[in-house]
Structure 1
């Protein structure tokens, strides 16, 4: 037996509720800065009531349910209520467009959608094209016309007893969509064991105790907030503070107000915080560590730690690795220009194009050893080809290049895939290109990233128009805004006569980047 055993999310929540029934489990600050609180007992009772409400709506074991919500208590309750009955949560980005959501709802075959009034138009306009969707449940409703669909109303008439449904630790508990090099996102299947494993790995890596409180300001639909923050707190019986939205100017104010001890950020939010007017009071907080991912300069790292009086730990992980396989040590030498060393339970190596392990200092692909469905993702939903390309002989091929330094630490080099990071979000160039290519008058398009000192990478599209076609930059950008989530929309478009190409006609994007990577990006 391994550290997970046959435990499930349901088991762990029950165990911690029995240990700490009256202890605060969740604190939530909404957009009006109002704070709500739930104890372990209150949360567990809500989870059971919602589980029974889902069963009455016909949601059964193995069914997919899409969550299209901002950070809120209802997101957390829905996640664990679905896990309670063996159903599968499909969390989505509220910035996703109607077309993007239509694809996810149909690909996942979701039978139920949980969202808010503000996002209803995305789904009512395409209702006839969503054959699997049987019902929509709303949270935090404002209009009386929707009261019968309100989650709180459905829970009022439900019992607080736990449903008696058999669940195995390797049953799928969630499916997280992640951008890939193809035009459509892939559904990453995450099991109960996956969630518990990443909680165990992270809690041990940052020495989490029941007295710690995780601060979640990143979106809950991300693996980061689910895997590293929520699960690490739950497996040790700690608590969680959640904000509805990230605020660079209030980050340390919220941390102090909510009594948080541990935080998680990306590089872009770190830079956004540092861009705010500094106040010495920002040092007055209870945070003892913040882990982060993605590139921050050494100068920025030193300045952040000095200004805000909290150490940073760079780590590396992805939706598919589930846990964090590489991280700087809390109690060892921190080298935050690296992505750290292998964590408990993971083996990581760098391989060349032939699959041979590289020598120190030689770049190659980062691969992670593990067990699908336990320490690595189970599979890509309905995509055996992509699954086979990613999971090979017990190793997950990340598609990222890295190298091992002489110091034994791993260093990120670049992405093999035609992808980039924009303010912490994965963006596949092909996904943006496929949308632009559909616009009348467009002959060919190439999308590249440009360094951006705030958001890591900005997006630039180079477009060749059809002969005699006339298309303005703003009209093409507006078209992208209707078809793509905000973070995927290009920052700029340049119309060109041709692209630099190889002898076989392949677009040489590295030349496009080299020519244009000095262009300053204007932030609105």
Structure 2
């Protein structure tokens, strides 16, 4: 038996209710700053009631139910209510278009959709193209037109008897769609054991305890918010402070108001916070640690820690790895320009195209050892070819390039798909971006390869400048020439005001490439 045994999400919640029934589990602040609170016991009651609603609607073990919701209490209640009966949550981005949602709903074969009135029109527009969908329910709805779809009324009218559905730790509890670039998104299968494992890894890696409160501002449909924030809190009997949306100007003010002690961010939100007018009172908060992912320049790391008097920990993980296989050590030397070292329960290698480990300092693909369905994803839904390609002999092939330094820390290089092939040389976009972003006038940069008849690909950089700063294309290219090998220097630089991004701030380079290709035609 491993650390999980045959424990399910239902078992874990019941355990914590027995231990902390009257303790706050979930504190929610909506966009109007109204606050709502549930104790562990109240949360479990809501979960059981909604489980009965689902059963009455014919939702059974193995059924897919799509959540198209912003951050709110109903999202987390629905997640655990579905897990309670062995059904499968399919969380989606509220920014997704009708066409994108048509694909997800049909690919997942979802029978039920839970959304809000604000997003209803995008589904009624395509209702005839959704053959599997039987019913739509509305969260946070207080109108009369759709009163029969009112989720709150249905929950209030249901009994709170705990359903008695046989469950196993390796039953699928959720399917999280990865963001597609050149192909349709893939549905990543996440089990009960996966959720519990990542809660264990994260809570131990940041020394989380029952008195801690996770500050959750990232979107709940994303693995980060589910895996690292919610599950680590539940694992130790801590609490969660959830906001409906991220606010750069109010981040530390909300954290203080809600009594948060730990937080999670991405690179883009960190830069957004730094870009705000500085309020020295923002130092007066209770957060002791913020873990983050994606590249932040060294001077921005220093500035953030000094301005807000909080420690940062860079980590590395993806939807498929479940937990955090790499993280800067809480009690060791932090090198936040790196993605850290292997964490509890993981073995990580950097390998070449033949699967052989590369020497320290050389670039190769990150692969992560684990057990599918427990410490790694179970697989991709209805895609055995992609599953076999990703999961090989107990190793997850991430598609990310890194190198191990002489210090034993892992340094992210780039997505394999982001490597630029220029005149026979491989150029890591991330390396070029690091140099460009080190210029004091530059706020952020994104580097792509564009087709070039002579050199396979040319290097094009998109750059956002700090407000009030000016620099010419040639000046910035000269800056790069002084710091990069000749074949790595950008051929052209385009200044822009903003980048296309995913909901968690990742730059959508496939859109930049598409736009650049159109311009070059």
Contact 1:500/1:511, CA 8 A, preserved across alignment: no
Please show how residues 94-109 of structure 1 align to structure 2 within 5 Å. Answer: 94-109=94-109
Q: Which aligned segments of 4 or more residues in structure 1 are displaced greater than 3 angstroms? A: 448-462, 509-517
User: Which residue of 2 is the match for residue 338 of structure 1?
Assistant: 338
Q: Distance in 1 between matches of 2:461 and 2:314?
A: 30
From 454, 457, 460, the equivalent of 1:508 is 457
Normalising by structure 2, we get a TM-score of 0.85
User: Which residue of 1 is the match for residue 57 of structure 2?
Assistant: 57
Structure 1 gap ranges (5+) = 421-447, 463-498
1:290-328 CA-partner distances (Å, limit 9, x unpaired): 000011111111110011010000000000001000000
Q: Distance in 1 between matches of 2:332 and 2:341?
A: 10
Query: How many angstroms does 1:356 deviate by?
Result: 0.5
Q: Distance in 2 between matches of 1:198 and 1:135?
A: 32
1:466-500 CA-partner distances (Å, limit 9, x unpaired): xxxxxxxxxxxxxxxxxxxxxxxxxxxxxxxxx41
Contact 1:295/1:456, CA 8 A, preserved across alignment: no
Query: How many angstroms does 1:171 deviate by?
Result: 0.4
Query: How many angstroms does 1:182 deviate by?
Result: 3.7
User: Which residue of 2 is the match for residue 470 of structure 1?
Assistant: none
Please show how residues 377-456 of structure 1 align to structure 2 within 5 Å. Answer: 377-418=377-418
User: Which residue of 2 is the match for residue 286 of structure 1?
Assistant: 286
Query: How many angstroms does 1:141 deviate by?
Result: 1.2
* Structure 1 residues 500 and 3: CA distance shift in structure 2, 3 A: same
Contact 1:213/1:262, CA 8 A, preserved across alignment: yes
Are residues 1:246 and 2:246 paired? yes
User: Which residue of 1 is the match for residue 203 of structure 2?
Assistant: 203
Contact 1:458/1:521, CA 8 A, preserved across alignment: no
* Structure 1 residues 216 and 519: CA distance shift in structure 2, 3 A: same
* Structure 1 residues 512 and 259: CA distance shift in structure 2, 3 A: closer
Q: Distance in 1 between matches of 2:165 and 2:267?
A: 42
Please show how residues 102-501 of structure 1 align to structure 2 within 5 Å. Answer: 102-418=102-418, 499-501=451-453
User: Which residue of 2 is the match for residue 88 of structure 1?
Assistant: 88
Q: Distance in 1 between matches of 2:226 and 2:419?
A: 23
Residue aligned with 2:367, SS: strand
Query: How many angstroms does 1:518 deviate by?
Result: 2.6
Residue aligned with 1:399, SS: strand
User: Which residue of 1 is the match for residue 426 of structure 2?
Assistant: none
Please show how residues 39-78 of structure 1 align to structure 2 within 5 Å. Answer: 39-78=39-78
Query: How many angstroms does 1:351 deviate by?
Result: 0.2
Are residues 1:518 and 2:493 paired? yes
User: Which residue of 1 is the match for residue 26 of structure 2?
Assistant: 26
Residue aligned with 1:103, SS: helix
Contact 1:314/1:339, CA 8 A, preserved across alignment: yes
Query: How many angstroms does 1:121 deviate by?
Result: 1.0
Residue aligned with 1:12, SS: helix
1:376-433 CA-partner distances (Å, limit 9, x unpaired): 000000000111110001000000000100000000011102599xxxxxxxxxxxxx
Query: How many angstroms does 1:522 deviate by?
Result: 1.0
User: Which residue of 1 is the match for residue 512 of structure 2?
Assistant: none
Query: How many angstroms does 1:508 deviate by?
Result: 2.4
Residue aligned with 2:493, SS: coil
Query: How many angstroms does 1:523 deviate by?
Result: 3.8
Q: Distance in 1 between matches of 2:191 and 2:332?
A: 32
Query: How many angstroms does 1:346 deviate by?
Result: 0.1
Query: How many angstroms does 1:142 deviate by?
Result: 4.0
Residue aligned with 1:69, SS: coil
Residue aligned with 1:66, SS: strand
Provide the alpha-carbon RMSD of the alignment: 2.2
* Structure 1 residues 112 and 458: CA distance shift in structure 2, 3 A: farther
Q: Distance in 2 between matches of 1:97 and 1:455?
A: 30
Query: How many angstroms does 1:102 deviate by?
Result: 0.3
Q: Larger RCO: Structure 1 or Structure 2 (Cα < 8 Å, ≥ 6 residues apart)?
A: 1
Contact 1:268/1:456, CA 8 A, preserved across alignment: no
Structure 2 gap ranges (5+) = 421-428, 463-488, 500-521
Q: Distance in 1 between matches of 2:149 and 2:138?
A: 6
Query: How many angstroms does 1:148 deviate by?
Result: 1.1
Query: How many angstroms does 1:157 deviate by?
Result: 1.7
Residue aligned with 1:190, SS: strand
Contact 2:447/2:459, CA 8 A, preserved across alignment: no
* Structure 1 residues 4 and 115: CA distance shift in structure 2, 3 A: same
Contact 2:364/2:403, CA 8 A, preserved across alignment: yes
Residue aligned with 1:207, SS: coil
Query: How many angstroms does 1:143 deviate by?
Result: 2.5
Q: Distance in 1 between matches of 2:9 and 2:419?
A: 33
Residue aligned with 1:145, SS: coil
* Structure 1 residues 392 and 134: CA distance shift in structure 2, 3 A: same
Normalising by structure 1, we get a TM-score of 0.84
Contact 2:114/2:139, CA 8 A, preserved across alignment: yes
